[in-house]
Amino acid sequence: MKNLSVVLFLAVAVIVVEAQEGSSVSQVLTVEVKPITKISVTGNPEALIVRDATPGSDLSSVSDENTKYSVTTNLDNMKIVASINDRMPEGTRLMIRLNSSKSTSSGPVDISNALTPVNVVTGINKGSEQDQTIRYIFAADASVGELQTKYRTITLTLTN
């Protein structure tokens, strides 16, 4: 019985030693960060309808600030450019202003004929800005008669 106890003790001791040694494996993990340039808009501008004029003024205008934009980038010296899908009718202008708390807004920019993109915000660096106001301004000069409803698509692009 004594021999059996010693053998049993040694067997348990070997099992405990093997369990304490453990095992391990290794893996190679590839990581990478790609350039991030995200822009989004929320809200929709109201219809910009000129209904009134100031006596003696050659230009009547209306504006809307119901749209916001947000950007996120991990690059420096980015900018937002705007373009329009079709020229505005003769005697009218469409302006856009993107506010920015961290970058440089170009102020109201005339995009009436911006079939190729024009700068509206510059100097965007790594980080994010959220819920920044977009202001659209539509103006018509006194020579414009009644104008039927027109639709335009404005494209905002975050680029370098």
pLDDT at 7: 46
In this predicted structure, the answer to whether residue 156 has a pLDDT above a threshold of 90 is yes
For the chain, give the mean pLDDT: 88
Q: What is the pLDDT of residue 139?
A: 94
Q: What is the model's pLDDT at position 155? A: 98
What CA–CA distance (Å, rounded) separates 29 from 81? 38
What span, in angstroms and rounded, lies between the C-alpha atoms of 107 and 93?
15
| Higher-scoring residue by pLDDT: 17, 152 | 152
Give tens-digit pLDDT for 86-123: 999 999 999 999 999 999 999 999 999 999 999 999 99
Give the sign of the dihedral formed by CA 159, CA 38, CA 153, CA 110: negative
Average pLDDT over residues 6-19: 50
Q: CA 61, CA 77: separation in Å to the nearest integer? A: 34
pLDDT value of residue 18? 54
Question: What is the DSSP code (8-state) at residue 74?
Answer: S
| CA nearest neighbour of 109 among 100, 76, 17, 101 | 100
pLDDT tens digits, 40-77: 999 999 999 998 776 667 778 999 999 999 999 999 99
Give me the percent of the chain exceeding a pLDDT of 70.
Answer: 86
DSSP class of 87 = P
Q: What is the pLDDT of residue 107?
A: 95
- Measured over the CA atoms of residue 11, residue 13, residue 14 and residue 18, the dihedral's sign is positive
Helices (H) and strands (E) in the chain, counts: 1, 9
For the chain, the farthest-separated pair of C-alpha atoms sits apart, in whole angstroms, at 120
pTM: 0.80
Question: Could you tell me which residue, 54 or 149, shows the higher pLDDT?
Answer: 149
Return the pLDDT at 15.
Answer: 52
User: Can you tell me whether residue 112 is helix, strand or coil?
Assistant: coil
Give yes or no for residue 6 having a pLDDT over 50: no
